[in-house]
Amino acid sequence: MEENGAGELIVQCIERDGTMNGYDVKLIRSVSKAVGIPVVALGGAGSLNDLIEAYRVGHASALAAGSLFVYQSKRRGVLINYPEKADLRF
């Protein structure tokens, strides 16, 4: 895809999507190492630590997350939230 002009790739692990059990960091890292364009990680984020791991260990250029910011608690009540600015400094 890179050779055909793609400017970035989204790497999504369907098996982890919506589970909030963490990204497939091994997959993200292998794609990031294989290409010279930005890689966006998607599918599985459940905590700020998951985001950090995908960035630091997986070498993702960007991170996408849905359930992490929408669903809270075991009963999955809907609550739109976002991390505090201070929490994003790592």
Contact 17, 44 (CB under 8 A): yes
Distance separating alpha carbons of residues 3 and 85, to the nearest angstrom? 37
Map out the domains of the chain as residue ranges.
9-83
The pTM is what? 0.76
Q: Tell me what pLDDT residue 30 has.
A: 97
**For residue range 16-75, what is the model confidence (pLDDT) as tens digits?**
998 889 999 999 999 999 999 999 999 999 899 999 999 999 999 999 998 887 776 656
> How much is the pLDDT for 76?
61
Q: Tell me, what's the pLDDT at 63?
A: 95
89: tokens are 């400094």
Q: Which CATH class is domain 9-83?
A: alpha beta
